[in-house]
Amino acid sequence: MFVDRNITEVTIMDVDKKPVLFIILAVVTILAGTLATTFIPLFMGTASPSRENIKFYTALELEGRDIYIREGCNNCHTQMVRPLKFETARYGDYSTLADSAIDRPHLWGSKRTGPDLARVGRKYPAAWHVIHMKSPQSMYPKSNMPPYAWLADRDLNTKYTEAKMKTLGYPYTAADLRALEGKTEMDAIIAYLLRLGNELR
């Protein structure tokens, strides 16, 4: 019942009778766009800016960034100011390649349930963030952001900090690592937020 009259006329190389050939052709077809738009650009350098002027993450900022990832902040906050007038008016300078050049993974985001955070480090001091993180509703009664007061009660786990810095190739000193002692997760995430928008030397 599936076979229409013209079926033999439109069969090329009998590909629909040879599964292995079919798989090879499908892989080649899939790899064409994959290589052209995604993997060849990796080696073209156009999406990989010079890292000369970029401030590397400190150990505390990196741990804060990992808490940002753990809590899925990127589900509601972008870090991508588009070069559009109404965006730069709201958030500040539009995002450049340099802003995220050392970010693994990137945290550009895809949904703004809350505002963009790419430049938030220029906007508020640490004390503001502490109050806001503990209870967003204390500042904005109608905010829908979950309260994160519990981050202040949790000591920062520094077991893997050195391994992380090494893996990512960020420079650090023994003093940087010692400075993490006694820090809470709240300290770390706020250090990270304060850095956003201040990526360049």
Partner 1 sequence: MAQEHAYDYRAVKGFAISSLFWGIVGLLIGILISLQLVYPQLNVTSWLTYGRLRPLHTNALIFGFTIPAAFSIFFYLVQRLGRTQLAFPGLAKALLYLFNTAIVLAALSLFAGMSQSKEYSELEWPLDLVIVVIWVMFAIIIIGTIVKRKEEQMYVSLWYILATVVGVAIVFIGNNLVVPVSLFKSYSVYAGANDANVQWWFGHNAVAFVFTTIPLAIFYYILPKTTQAPLYSHRLSIIGFWSLVFAYLWTGAHHLIYTPLPDWIQTVAISFSIFLIAPSWASVINGYGTMKGQWEQMRTSYLVKFIILGITFYGLQTLQGPSQAIRAFSALTHFTDWVPGHVHMGTMGWVTMTISAGFYYMLPRIYNTELYSVKIANAHFWLVLMGQLIYSVTMWITGIRQGAMWQAMEADGSLVYSNFIDTLTPNYAFWNMRTAGGIIFFAGFLLFVYNLYKTIRLAPKASSA
Residues between 56 and 75 that touch partner 1 (CB under 8 A):
66, 69-75
Euclidean distance between CA atoms 16 and 126, whole angstroms: 64
Residues 156-175: x where in contact with partner 1 by CB under 8 A, - otherwise, as a string: ---xx--xx--xx-------
By the rule CB under 8 A, 153 interacts with partner 1: no
Euclidean distance between CA atoms 156 and 127, whole angstroms: 19
Euclidean distance between CA atoms 177 and 52, whole angstroms: 24
Q: How many CB atoms lie within 10 A of CB 103?
A: 15
Out of 13, 41, 126, 178, the residue judged to bind partner 1 by CB under 8 A: 41
Residues from 91 through 130 that contact partner 1 (CB under 8 A) = 95-97, 99-115
Burial level of 91, CB count in 10 A (0-12/13-18/19+)?
Answer: buried
- Shortest distance, position 191 Cβ to partner 1, whole Å: 18
Spell out the residues 6+ positions from residue 79 whose beta carbon is closer than 8 angstroms to its own. 95, 99, 100, 107, 108, 109, 116, 117, 118, 196
- Shortest distance, position 198 Cβ to partner 1, whole Å: 17
Out of 53, 150, 198, 200, the residue judged to bind partner 1 by CB under 8 A: 150
Pick the closer one to partner 1 by CB: 42 or 179.
Answer: 42
Pick the closer one to partner 1 by CB: 150 or 179.
Answer: 150
Out of 46, 127, 181, 201, the residue judged to bind partner 1 by CB under 8 A: 46
Residues 165 and 62 sit within 8 Å (Cβ to Cβ): yes
Residues from 76 through 95 that contact partner 1 (CB under 8 A) = 76, 78, 80, 82-87, 89-90, 95
| Axis crossing angle, helix 59-70 with helix 161-168, rounded to the nearest 10 | 100
- Shortest distance, position 199 Cβ to partner 1, whole Å: 11
